[in-house]
């Protein structure tokens, strides 16, 4: 599963693997004793300067690997590739939280992710965009804006992705406390990434039919989250 709208966890994992390899090989080379016989000489540990030099090499390798991976890892959604969604009603923050809670309760099968099913669950009209690529609506959310979008990440995907977002992303109309409360009440488990610049907080639970329901909540800071800018829903087969 890859919630790829923002953040690049795969790129970061690749970068960390390559960086660790560079650092380890460099330190081993520095610490390796001379091949000449040294009966009375004890090999010296690597100096501070040598360690710092290898750390710099590792950091450079990390940046190079991350940039390379980012170029070959496709995003599921590129906003520039989609026409604007049709206008929808003005909503309050509690009303949009209710939409999120209703989706969390409704998703049991891939059929529940279809545009018509999402309309039924949320009570929102979600017409097609001008190219028929996404279904959804956009409107005013108090002083900012919102979007509810439904689309297929690729043609043969068995279901759809569902995304509730706020714009501009830096606004705080949706708080983490308000978003997580109905998800936890619905039986979702919350987990946080342990590293990197990915500020999504993940929620998951068994949805039935050997499917897992996965919700990615994009926050301002995963370690101390206050504001939410995007909530993405997806159903995927459970491994094993």
Task: With 0.85 as the threshold, say if the pTM is over it.
Answer: no
pLDDT for 54 equals: 66
* Spatial separation of the C-alpha atoms in residues 93 and 166, rounded to whole Å: 10
Give me the helix-helix angle, 93-106 and 115-122, nearest 10°.
Answer: 120
pLDDT for 21 equals: 45
Q: Answer yes or no: are the C-beta atoms of 111 and 237 closer than 8 Å.
A: no
H or E stretch at 141 = strand 134-141
pLDDT for 239 equals: 76
Question: 106, 90, 97: which is closest to 231 by C-alpha?
Answer: 97
Count the alpha carbons within 13 Å of 96 in the hemisphere toward its beta carbon: 32
H or E stretch at 211 = strand 211-219
Q: Answer yes or no: are the C-beta atoms of 216 and 163 closer than 8 Å.
A: no
Q: What angle do CA 214, 216, 221 make, to 5 degrees?
A: 150
Length reported for the chain:
240
Average pLDDT of adjacent 10-residue blocks, the chain of 240 residues: 42 39 41 47 61 61 44 44 93 98 96 98 97 96 96 93 96 96 96 81 92 96 94 89
- The two structure tokens encoding residue 30: 């520095």
pLDDT (tens digit, 9 = 90+) per residue, 112-131?
999 999 999 999 999 999 99
Within 8 A by CB and 6+ apart from 156, the residues are: none
Q: Answer yes or no: are the C-beta atoms of 214 and 113 closer than 8 Å.
A: no
């Amino acid at each position: 599963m890859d919630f790829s709208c923002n953040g690049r966890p795969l790129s970061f994992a690749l970068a960390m693997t390559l960086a660790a390899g560079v650092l380890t090989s460099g330190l081993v080379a520095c610490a390796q004793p001379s091949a000449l016989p040294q009966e009375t000489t004890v090999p010296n540990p690597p100096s501070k300067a040598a360690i710092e030099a290898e750390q710099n090499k590792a950091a450079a390798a990390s940046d190079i690997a991350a940039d390379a991976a980012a170029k070959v890892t496709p995003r599921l959604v590129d906003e520039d590739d989609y026409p604007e969604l049709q206008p929808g009603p003005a909503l309050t923050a509690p009303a949009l939280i209710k939409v999120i809670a209703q989706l969390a309760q409704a998703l049991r099968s891939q059929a529940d992710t279809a545009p018509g099913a999402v309309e039924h669950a949320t009570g929102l009209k979600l017409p097609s965009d001008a190219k028929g690529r996404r279904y959804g609506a956009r409107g005013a959310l108090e002083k900012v804006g919102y979007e509810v979008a439904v689309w297929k990440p690729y043609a043969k995907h068995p279901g759809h992705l569902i995304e509730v977002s706020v714009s501009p992303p830096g606004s705080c109309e949706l708080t983490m406390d308000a978003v997580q409360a109905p998800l936890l009440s619905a039986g979702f488990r919350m987990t946080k990434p342990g590293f990197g610049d990915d500020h999504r907080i993940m929620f998951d639970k068994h949805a039935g039919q050997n499917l897992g329901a996965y919700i990615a909540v994009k926050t301002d800071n995963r370690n101390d989250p206050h504001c939410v800018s995007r909530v993405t829903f997806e159903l995927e087969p459970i491994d094993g």
